[in-house]
Structure 1
Amino acid sequence: MADAPTSPYLVLARKYRPRDFTTLVGQDAMVQTLGNAFAQNRIHHAFILTGVRGVGKTTTARILARAFNYEDKSGPHPTLDLSVEGEHCRAIIEGRHVDVIEMDAASNTGINDIREIIDSVKYAPSSAPYKVYVIDEVHMLSTAAFNGLLKTLEEPPPYVKFIFATTEIRKVPVTILSRCMRFDLRRITPEIMTAYLESILGQEGISFEPEALAMIVRAGEGSARDNLSLLDQAIAHGNGTVTATTVKAMLGLGDRARIIDLFEELMGGQIGQAIETMRALYDMGADPQTLVADLADFTHLVTRIKVVPSAADDVSLTPDERRRGAELAGKLPMRALTRAWQILFKGYDEVARASNGLQAAEMALIRLAYAADLPSPDDLIARLANQPAPAPSLPPMAPIGRGPSNGGGGASAMRVESPRPVMTEAVAAQPTTLQAARPAEAPVVQPAMATVGSYKELIALAGAKRDMLLKLALEGQMRPVSFEQGKIEIALVEGANPASVNTLSARLQEWTGQRWLVTVSTKPIDGPTLRQEKEERAALQRAQAHDDPLVQAILNTFPGARVVNVKVKDELDATPPDLPPPPPEEDDE
């Protein structure tokens, strides 16, 4: 005698799919609103359900279809009390009722599919009190399909109900939303989800560890279907039991306690131990990207506990996460946590793109360890406040020059520049301290009008006013012919901009407070401009300095050395000793 065929296995997500509102978990607000509407006989003709995957949108639509078409011995009457199956309930639950039409908008997106609905709406239901249209993923309908549905959706026959479900509510036109009663289905909280999974495991007679359920609930992200699918997989992976070890291996998670150890080592700057810990977790089978994600997850947890201490009471957390997370939240400053989050967030993308994920993960952890060990700006300021004043900087090296006493041709000198000092973090933070100790500034006094007594003073005034275009024009495009108080005569070089004359007149009036007459000479004026004279003089000074025997000895002693700048001795004596040397000109070597 042949064995009786066994029925195929029904996954937990289908076996324990809610069939009435008493078994629908995590959506109490929607159930209360619908209960009041049914009790007051204020039942809308169109509903739209939105939420993330697996929170019960399609399930709610089928339960609503049962509630609309509930009929018992007393006759048809819509109700949310579905504890006793009505005449149409079994057919609706099994998806074979002729008056409950389910359509997937992902595969029926066009106007022709909607036209079939519009044509069938004209006919009354065959046996049930209402004809119910359930359209899943309604946001995938085309624009023409949405427009074709508007009129029917606004004024349907009294025996027609529409129920829409979508995960992308923003893609649904507002004209559709305005015609529907909207319900936003929430993610199921960890407390409710944990209790729900425990009840299912109790009905199945399967043993479990609370830590394993916490991992599944965290991975399910508030979706009932995702949690039940993971639970199904965990039962099969654990050979009929749900343990933390098997769930870790199934999800590719590292040991949560080792993740916390790794986090502590990184935040303590113990990079050697952190790399060894990560390598050990990797050898145990943990994925590098998952390890970085776990570190970011724990960083977020510690930050949450620091801001909201009651977050440590979350039932989805392991005992180590509750206890050690609270301890770390009390020790680590907020800036260190936010900096760690930014580094891990960026490191997660780097690991995903890298050809060798382990190497990219290790580099991200090294960056985090060194960044976590850096002092904060507040610490630097506090350290500077407790340290003695810095020693004065060394005076600049005495210029090596030649004068009439040592056989030189002219009074010139060569400035030898020393390397620029490297600014440390303490020096960079010093201006903040000095600025904090700076006394109150004196009231601003309006400067007096400038006076100009010569053409060179005019060029110096343009430089002081930071009008560099006019300064360059005075030096390179004009030659002075005559200069009197209130009157200037100039000659323009070939190719000069004539508009600079008007600019000069306007600037003089603005700077001196009086009108100036600026005229252009019509006579040809030969001779170099001031810029040309300056360039010729600098070239002569460089040549004289370069030919100096002492300079030649220095250049021969230090191969590759160059004369970068030459100044007349009188100019050096006039330079304040506390000013840095001027930068070398770009065309000099």
Structure 2
Amino acid sequence: MDNYIVSARKYRPSTFRSVVGQKALTQTLKNAIDSNKLAHAYLFCGPRGVGKTSCARIFAKTINCFHPTESGEACNECESCRAFNEQRSYNIIELDAASNNSVDDIRTLIDQVRIPPQIGKYKVFIIDEVHMLSAAAFNAFLKTLEEPPHHAIFILATTEKHKILPTILSRCQVYDFQRITTTDIAEHLQYVASQEGITAEPEALNIIAQKADGGMRDALSVFDQVVSFSGGHITYKSVIENLNVLDYEYYFRLVDAFLQNNVPQALMIFKEIRDNGFEAQFFIGGLSRHFRDLLVSKDPVTLPLLEVSESVAKRYGEQAEKCTLPFLYRAMELSNRCDLDYRISNNKQFLVELTLIQICQITNPVTSAPENPPLQKITPAPNAGQTVSPTTQTPNTTTSQQTAGTTSGVTQTAEPQAAYRAATIRPTTFKRDIPAAPTQTRKAAPPTRISIHQKPAESVAEENTSTVQTVLDTPFTAEALTTAWLEYAKTIPTEVVLVNTMQSCRPQLVDPKNFVVSVDSQIQVDHINEHFHELMSFLQNALKNNQFSMQLRINQPGEKEIIFSPKDVLMKMIEKNPDIKNLYDTFDLEIA
């Protein structure tokens, strides 16, 4: 009985033509051989199982062939080719850098470089997994790699190009091998199956190609595994059963349920998937990929991105016609969000089921009046007989007003502070100068209740008649205002910026009903505005007065108050009265 050889070794490429998925790269190497323009060092890099070492061996065999064919391939008949095929050639030396990565190993290699080839023109050194060499070995190899003998050619192969020293990269011609496409892998598997007398369904080979993730060696290994399981007849069912792959039929059924807004059916399909032993995160990842495939199936331009067999591609096209683009965009977003939240979720099954329910409701969302309707921005109309001045803006100046318990035409009542924030009322206007005119008497508007929810007109009318705000007009002094201002700063110790602003910027009483606060920047204005309603409510309670207004003013450059030192004050006094200097000198005074 002959020894069994795995397909990855039995069908390893022996010519440039048999290399799968690297047509441009192999053509470049053939042209270099035909034109006799060979470099002294090459670096083959790329993912695993894409043909790097195989191409290195084919290249080494071809450049030493005595009678290459017209197509640029080795003849396999001359003494050099026969020695290579029988693995007795002394012109090709392979070194596994993963296990021979020391300086001594490189020195031994350098000694072999000096010996010319016995048969053929070149002595080729293939160093596989070259990134495993130590830094000292790399440095010992530099000089030889840069200026080798004319008969020596180095071919370095690696899967991790970023670990190669820049000094090595600069001495080599770099060839980047690409991942092999699913179509190319499936076609090669079909060729191998025909050579082995194995029947295989195209869908089954396509699943194997997807599982290989761009590596031909992985694909051939999985192929042998499935052949052993199926007994020589590879079917789609046997592949998904052996490889534990989730059948795309589940996803087609799920999307049909989504389009029909059938939540129970979607949940039952998910239960069936879990009963078959599939992880929920694996399922949600496949669902995201299915939505992506449906999206690329809707446009002929993106159709090449669909890496499935023709029969499956036809099914994707039929289902994609039923799906709208907004549905697919939203479904992809929900499934991706579920995938991101899966690891941190305490109830993973509920998270996936909730996602399925949300996807079912995309085309026909459930509309029901919630107990707490969403927050609404309040823009109340001015009352009869009351004039509301429009908001004006000028640079660098901000004014926030609250007068007679009314904010921008809305009367403030004893609503909770959260209601003020939710209503997003910012009674902010902008002024260049502080008005010095006496306070104008304003007519108190009928009290209006602020609500963060929309309510029927009848309910609002009842609340307006039942809620009346008490008008407080107790006179207060500038000292009482400053005291209340600083007391509020003590209640917010965590708001460091606001506390510093309130301590450095004291209110100045302009008249009994107005005070102004001068600040230095817009940032300070924003922090005060953020706590505007809480601040005003606190001041009203502390001063027992709700008939005043506050204005914020940003200082202009150079306008900030200048603070003089005691010596500066003395000099100013001497300028106005020179006798003060005589008094200062007579008594030998000193400034404390």
Instruction: Give the shorter-chain TM-score range.
Output: 0.5 to 0.7
The match for 2:2 is: 7
Unpaired runs of 5+ residues, structure 2, are 368-375, 383-411, 440-476, 487-496, 512-516, 522-536, 550-592
TM-score by length of 2: 0.63
Partners of 1:310 and 1:342 in 2: CA distance = 19
Counterpart secondary structure, 1:22: helix
The equivalent residue for 1:328 is 320
What's 2:280 paired with? 288
> Does the CA-based 8 Å contact 2:142-2:167 persist in structure 1?
yes
Match of 2:415 in 1: 417
Question: Contact 2:204 / 2:235 at 8 angstroms: preserved in 1?
Answer: yes
Q: 2:261 touches 2:363 (CA, 8 Å); kept in 1?
A: no
1:36 to 12, 31, 44: 31
Aligned: 1:53 with 2:48: yes
Offset from partner CA, 1:414-434 (integer Å, 9 cap, x none): 96536967999xx99xx9xxx
Q: CA deviation at 1:277?
A: 0.2
Aligned AA (1:99): N
**Secondary structure of the equivalent of 1:37?**
helix
Partner deviation per Cα, 1:536-556 (whole Å, 9 max, x = no partner): 9957x9xxxxxxxxxxxxxxx
Report the counterpart of residue 179 of structure 1 in structure 2: 171
Q: Tell whether the 8 Å contact from 1:271 to 1:366 is kept in structure 2 after alignment.
A: no
Shift of 1:214: 1.6
* CA deviation after TM superposition for structure 1 residue 118, in Å: 1.6
- Partner Cα separation in structure 1 for residue 165 and residue 18 of structure 2: 32
Which residue pairs with 1:26 in the alignment? 21
d(CA) in 1 for partners of 2:94, 2:505: 85
**2:48 alignment partner, SS class:** coil
Between the two proteins, the alignment pairs up a number of residues equal to 440
Q: Aligned equivalents of 1:241 and 1:352: distance in 2?
A: 39
Cα deviation, residue 117, structure 1: 1.4
Q: Is the 8 A contact 2:113 2:149 kept in 1?
A: yes
Q: Name the SS of the counterpart of 1:8 in structure 2.
A: coil
Q: CA deviation at 1:226?
A: 1.4
Q: Secondary structure at the match of 1:88?
A: helix
**Contact persistence 1:257–1:320 (CA under 8 A):** no
Out of 88, 91, 108, which is 1:99 matched to? 91
SS in structure 2 of the partner of residue 71 of structure 1: coil
Is the counterpart of residue 367 in structure 1 residue 355 in structure 2?
A: yes
Displacement, 1:79? 8.9
List aligned pairs for 1:11-410, cutoff 5 A: 11-71=6-66, 80-93=72-85, 95-266=87-258, 270-306=262-298, 309-311=301-303, 314=306, 316-317=308-309, 319-325=311-317, 327-328=319-320, 331-333=323-325, 337-345=328-336, 347-348=338-339, 360-361=348-349, 363-370=351-358, 373=361
Q: CA–CA distance in 1 between the matches of 2:60 and 2:259? A: 55
SS, match of residue 134 in structure 1:
strand
Mapped partners of 1:301, 1:506: distance in 2: 57
Distance 1:537 1:422 in 2: 15
C-alpha separation in 1, matches of 2:292 and 2:242: 24
Per-residue CA deviation, residues 497-542 of structure 1 (Å, 9 max, x unaligned), is: xxxxxx98999xxxxxxxxxxxxxxxxxxxxxxxxxx999957x9x
Spell out, residue by residue over 1:298-333, the C-alpha distance to the aligned partner (whole angstroms, 9 max, x if none).
122123334654516856246345433564366333
Rounded Cα–Cα distance in structure 2 between residues aligned with 1:26 and 1:537: 79
The worse-fitting range, judged by mean Cα deviation, of 243-252 and 21-30 is 21-30
Change (3 A) 1:333 1:372: farther
Assess, with a 3 A threshold, how the Cα gap between structure 1 residues 370 and 155 changes in structure 2: closer, same or farther.
same
Could you tell me how far apart the structure 1 residues matched to 2:501 and 2:131 are? 64
Q: How does 1:464-503 map to 2 (within 5 A)?
A: 472=503
CA distance change for structure 1 residues 27 and 331 in 2, over 3 Å: closer, same or farther? Answer: same
Equivalent residue, structure 2, for 1:447? 432
Residues 96/341 of structure 1: CA separation in 2 closer, same or farther (3 Å cut) = farther
Could you tell me how far apart the structure 2 residues matched to 1:176 and 1:264 are? 56
Whole-angstrom distance in 1 between the partners of 2:311 and 2:271? 25
| CA deviation after TM superposition for structure 1 residue 190, in Å | 2.8
- CA separation of 1:344 and 1:97: change in aligned 2, threshold 3 A: farther
Deviation at 1:19, TM superposition (A): 0.6
The 2-side partners of 1:143 and 1:79 are apart by 41
Instruction: Kindly indicate whether the alpha-carbon contact (under 8 Å) linking 1:302 and 1:326 is maintained by their aligned counterparts in 2.
Output: no
Q: Which one-letter code corresponds to 1:50 in the other structure?
A: C
* Structure 1 unpaired stretches of 5+: 1-5, 381-388, 396-413, 432-443, 485-502, 508-533, 542-566, 576-589
Find the counterpart in structure 2 of residue 519 from structure 1: none
The whole-number CA distance in structure 1 between the counterparts of 2:519 and 2:307 is: 80
Cα distance between partner residues in 2 of 1:505 and 1:215: 68
State the Cα RMSD in Å.
4.8
**Residue 144 of structure 1, CA deviation:** 1.9
Distance between the aligned counterparts of 2:344 and 2:5, measured in 1?
39
Query: Deviation digits for residues 53-78 of structure 1, max 9, x if unmatched?
Result: 11100110110110122136xxx999
Distance 1:282 1:535 in 2: 58
Letter in 1 for 2:6: V
Distance verdict in 2 for CA 1:283–1:151, change over 3 Å = same
After superposition, the Cα gap between the structure-2 partners of 1:505 and 1:24, relative to the gap in structure 1 and judged at 3 Å, is: closer
1:426-445 alignment runs, 5 A limit:
none
- Aligned pairs for 1:497-512 within 5 A: none
Q: Mark the CA change 1:538 to 1:137 in structure 2 (over 3 Å): closer, same or farther.
A: same
Show the counterpart of 1:406: none
SS in 2 for 1:125: coil
Tell me the amino acid that sits aligned with residue 125 of structure 1.
P
Task: Assess if the C-alpha contact under 8 Å between 1:19 and 1:59 holds in 2.
Answer: yes
1:388-412 deviation per Cα after TM superposition (whole angstroms, max 9, x unaligned): x9999899xxxxxxxxxxxxxxxxx
TM-score (norm 1): 0.63
AA at the equivalent of 1:288 = A
Following TM superposition, by how much is the alpha carbon of 1:244 offset from its aligned partner in structure 2, in angstroms? Answer: 0.5
- For residue 240 of structure 1, report the CA deviation from its aligned partner: 1.0
Q: Return the offset for 1:9.
A: 0.9
Aligned residue number for residue 404 of structure 1: none
- SS of equivalent to 2:18: coil
Is this contact kept in 1: 2:180–2:214, CA < 8 A?
yes
